[in-house]
Amino acid sequence: MMKCISCGAEYSDDEIIYTCRQCDSILEVICQPKVSKDVFQCRKATMWKYKEFMPVDPSKIVSLDEGGTPFCKCDNLGKELGVELYVKVEGSNPTGSFKDRGMSVGITKALELGVDTVGCASTGNTSASLAAYAARAGLKCAVLLPAGKVALGKLAQAMFHGAQVISVRGNFDQALEAITALALEGQLYLLNSINPYRLEGQKSIGFEIVDELGWKSPDRIILPVGNAGNISAIWKGITEFHETGFIDDLPRMTGIQAEKAAPIARAVQNGQDDIIPVKNPETVATAIRIGAPVSAKKAIRAIYESDGLAETVSDQEILSAQKLLARTEGIGVEPASAASIAGLKKLINSGKIDKNEQIVCVVTGHVLKDPQVAIDACKDPVEVDADINALSKIIKSS
Ligand SMILES: *Cc1c(COP(=O)(O)O)cnc(C)c1O
Ligand SMILES: [Zn+2]
């Protein structure tokens, strides 16, 4: 069953519907399985380990073994910052971002509904992921991308997996509005995170974090926020495990946005329940270059309910955090992902996060998604003859 988060209107699972017919608000899937956590033992470490919590037909699952991503204790960086730090590395998913979790459930749902065409608007990773899962399921796929604003790795993936890639003159918010209109005409099944089934897959990030910590919640989970589906999804997952009795405590959800694309952080800092959209969002972190996040209400609710925080970071802070994580821990992430580390640093410096807290930063996408940013952050390699004296001189000089 799906339920409106504002007025509580209920909709059946076999309806294709994205927003409430009564009040136009967003929907969530209600999922209350009665299981013991013992059933998870000995299962393969993918997100389908928790399949009882995934509201789709188990005989139709389309999977590339997404989830089960590395959960790295980061003592080098943690000591430097004065917290106990874990990093959940979502770049290790099949197409290199957490979107794969959502698409696995979303495409499974598409098969269940019997649609033949799927689509999305995307800042890049949603389209890369959708293209791959649609290929695996044998579905037609159309993706709308904001022209000139998609990182190269993501664009290459969407095209290579055979999606029809359409470059739209405009930003992500405008592309999403356009594809939503097409979906409402019945021309395709929309797999942006306004589709509540996407979040059902992504909530498994929350499941994995508390499972990895021995059925305990960390003090805080920090992640970048763009369209705001993921923070909503992780909170949904954690609260489902809490309600089922698998964990006793809850984390503070902490969302980080780029300074010039920060409607949610502004709303939270002003104590409001909804956002004022940002007209021309801008940031080097293209994955979170979004001015009118569709899941804003869910995200703001998650932050308030969990006594969490929202913070903004500059592009400079994002890029230096990206480098810091790469150089102190060997974890390469794309700029948007580094917003979580940049936000952590800023919140520690301002005293809003206590020293010694146990923190999980979710890093959302792989460094190779945006190779240009990585290359631009470094000096060109020196070029020499393959002569050992010349080589040895250079190596010693560094
Ligand atoms: C999609 C994405 C985000 C933003 O997630 P939302 O659910 O839109 O808030 C952050 N980082 C990366 C790498 C992404 O692909
Ligand atoms: Zn409603």
- The 10s digit of each residue's pLDDT in 351-385 is 999 999 999 999 999 999 999 999 999 999 999 99
CB distance 129 to ligand 1 below 6 Å? no
> Looking at the domain that runs over 71-96+198-376, which CATH code has it been given?
3.40.50.1100
Please say whether the beta carbons of 222 and 357 come within 8 A.
Answer: no
| Cβ contact 223:255 at 8 Å | yes
Residue of minimum CA distance from atom 5 in ligand 1: 226
Residues 66, 44: contact at Cβ < 8 Å?
no
Neighbours of ion ligand 2 (CB under 5 A): 4, 6-7, 9, 20, 22-23, 25
224 ligand 1 Cβ < 6 A: yes
Is the CB–ligand 1 distance for residue 125 below 6 Å?
yes
What is the three-state SS of 109-152? HHHHHCCCEEEEECCCHHHHHHHHHHHHHCCEEEEEEECCCCCH
Q: Counting every residue, how long is the chain?
A: 398
AA identity, residue 208: E
Question: Can you list the residues of the chain whose pLDDT is less than 50?
Answer: none
Q: Would you list the domain boundaries of the chain?
A: 1-30, 71-96+198-376, 98-195
Could you confirm whether domain 98-195 is CATH 3.40.50.1100?
A: yes
Q: How far is the CA of 27 from the centre of ligand 2 (A)?
A: 8
Pocket lining: 202 vs ligand 1, CB cutoff 6 Å: no
pLDDT of residue 398: 85
- The span from the CA of 109 to the CA of 173, in Å, is 25
Q: Which ligand places an atom closest to the C-alpha of 193?
A: 1
Q: Is the CB of 335 under 6 A from ligand 1?
A: no
Please list, in sequence order, all residues whose beta carbon lies within 8 angstroms of the beta carbon of residue 28, skipping any fewer than 6 positions away: 2, 3, 5, 196, 199, 236, 298
SS3 8: coil
Fold equal for 71-96+198-376 and 98-195: yes
Q: Tell me the CA–centroid distance for residue 195 and ligand 2, in Å.
A: 15
